[in-house]
Each structure stands twice: as structure tokens, then as C-alpha cells.
Structure 1
Amino acid sequence: MNLLLDSHVILWWLADDPRLSRKARRLIERADEAYVSAATTWELALKASLGKLEMPEGFIETVEEEGFLHLPVTPVHAMAVKALPWHHRDPFDRLLVAQAAAEGLRLLTAERLLAHYGDHVVVV
């Protein structure tokens, strides 16, 4: 299975945070490939600049060192948001759902509302 990690999931993984469930850890460890979206990097950088969270130093390099792949945001991903029903209003989450659907990935998240988007989302 190929995964796309939601923002909180990658932060919890990097911090070895106990909020990341055992199930989520197993899925990440067993994934064929796991991706971190450029949208996630943007969201975290934005929130860090506002003082809403602490972003790990060297985030981009750390993501790579952990074996994750970066997923760019393409025009196809951006347009795929248009077709999504409005189960959730967060623009970053909607883009991640669109990316997962477009790329055949499963979005790994703890955000229960995203489960309404179906098979492309794994809530843990």
C-alpha cells in the first residue's frame, strides 16, 4: 500500500509522539511508499510562521532521511479538488484527499471527518 501522510501524522511520526496509534505506525512501516505532500510542508510552514506549532529544524531533509518521498502539488491535483463533495472545509485537507485520489494513494489521518471521502482515506 502507498500512503500519503496527513500533517499531524508526519509530525507525530517525527516526534515519536504517542498520539500516533500503533495501527498507524504499522501501516507506515509496512507501506511500499509513503509520501509527504508539498501542501503539508506549506501548511506546517505557515502555521509555524504564525507561532501555532513548532516545526522540526531541517524538516525537508528529515522527511527524506526517514525514507518518505515528497509529493509535489500539480495542476491535476488542484483541479481534482473541484470534484470533491464538501464533507470538510479545510483547504489543505481537501487538497490531500484530491492528491490521494489522483495518485492512487491512501491518505493516513486521524481526522475522522475525512473518512467521508471513502477508500482513499484511512483514519487511524
Structure 2
Amino acid sequence: MKLLVDTHAFLWLILDDPSLSNTARREIRSRDNEVWLSAASGWEIAIKYGLGKLPLPEEPDRYVPRMRRRSRIESLPIGEAEVCQIHRLPPIHRDPFDRLLVAQANCHGMVIVTDDPVVSRYPVQTLW
């Protein structure tokens, strides 16, 4: 299975937060799955860090890649084909990061690992 980890799920994984479901943790750690983190999640983390809303042990440009690699998660760049698909999504909400993750998951045949009920309303597979 190809998994795209939502930002909050990635943070809960690397912080060993019990908010991450056992199913999500197991599937992310399974060597049978390809696990990806969107560059959009790194962008979202950097914005929240810069605004003082997300404390991290070090700056995100070092912390995110290091923790992603440590967790055996690949980086998914943001591509033109994906952003050009966003207009096809139903207007469920306006969060640009969530909408981009949905477009990326659809373009690459991925399942989004998320606890966000709004993302689950989009035409995309989710896992929690």
C-alpha cells in the first residue's frame, strides 16, 4: 500500500504521541508499505514553527528531513500535475494543504493517513 502521511500524523509519529492510532502507527512502520510525506507538510510545519505555534527541538529545515529519514518515510515533491488537479476537488473546505494532499494522493494512488474527518469527506481513501 502507498501511504501519504498527513502533517499531524507525522508529528504524532515522530513525537511518539499516543494520539496516533495503533492502526496508523502499524501501517506506517510496516515494511510492506511505501510511506511518503508531502513537501506540503514540511511547508505547513515551517509556517507553524515560524509563527511560534509549533515548538520543535530544532529548526524545521533540519528536523523534518532528519525525522522523516529516521522513520523511513520518503519525501513527495509537489508537482504541476497535482496542483492542476485541485480545481476538480469538491469545495468541502478551503485548507490548501489538505486539498493538495488529496490531489497528490489521487494522482499517485495513495491512501492518506489522517485523523481529519474533513479530509475523509473528499473522494480519497484514508486510513486511521
Q: Which TM-score tier does this pair reach, normalised by the shorter chain?
A: over 0.9
Pairwise CA RMSD: 1.3
1:1-124 superposed matches below 5 A: 1-30=1-30, 31-57=32-58, 58-118=63-123, 120-124=124-128
Which aligned runs of 4 or more in structure 1 are off by greater than 4 angstroms? none
Q: Take 2:113 and 2:125, find their aligned partners in 1: how far apart are those partners?
A: 6
TM value normalised by structure 1:
0.93
**Aligned AA for 1:83?**
R
Q: Take 2:127 and 2:72, find their aligned partners in 1: how far apart are those partners?
A: 22
Instruction: Mark the runs of 5 or more structure 1 residues left unpaired by the alignment.
Output: none
Q: Secondary structure at the match of 1:112?
A: coil
Range moving further from structure 2, 43-52 or 26-35? 26-35
Q: Take 1:65 and 1:123, find their aligned partners in 2: how far apart are those partners?
A: 22
**Aligned AA for 1:50?**
L
**Aligned AA for 1:40?**
S
Range moving further from structure 2, 60-69 or 44-53? 60-69
Number of equivalences: 123
Instruction: Mark the runs of 5 or more structure 2 residues left unpaired by the alignment.
Output: none
> What percent identity do the matched residue pairs reach?
41
